[in-house]
A = this chain, B = another copy of it.
């Protein structure tokens, strides 16, 4: 991911790549190169030290590294109190398409009688349903609950072994696994006489780059901690 980010930044006309830091390099070189934003796709073992250093230096950060517990997030917030002009964006998913899919799904949820999720992935995936599908289902369930939606209609009386999929907070999720697939998700909303389908197809991680670039451009304008891309997608 790191190398792809460097290529994407390098190719963006409004951004300059001033330093490329591998695990053998020190962060100091970023400071001496005049970095305004640090992009961190490292690992949970080193990311907190990197963030502490960047905040101390007054450098903004965009973080795609995983493993941020509530405790870690509170610690970052604490560091930022002392540097009120510094911004940090931490996001579990930089795919703008996936983030928009979830936003749209949450927004449509209250207006339809029924909604189900079909996610489709390559057969090497270990878990079913995917984390994105489960998260989308929960967003939908919350939106329906907040709007006071009744349970969805379903007259199924005879179900053969799991045909109706997994029930995630009342939203059915189906996981398809097949060679030839990469990572896809469809959210199907329906009400009498019409359906609305939101589908996201992800083919490779180059799809994360627009989200990383967006975060780089936005973090300099947003002091404090921003979680996820949602708020950046104006």
Contacts and interface: CB of A to CB of B under 8 A. Distances in A.
B190 A206 contact: no
Given A97-B189, A188-B178, A201 B197 contact: yes
A104 interface: yes
Tell me if A's interface is mostly helix, strand, loop or mixed. mixed
Contacts of A118: 118, 174, 176
Given A111-B96, A159-B128, A176-B118, A194 B188 contact: no
**How many chain copies?**
4
Interface in A168-208: 168, 172-182, 188-208
Nearest to A175: B163
B201 A194 contact: yes
Interface in A98-114: 98, 100-101, 104, 107-108, 111-114
A166 B174 contact: no
In this complex, the member of A101, A107, A161 whose beta carbon has the largest number of chain B beta carbons within 10 angstroms is A161
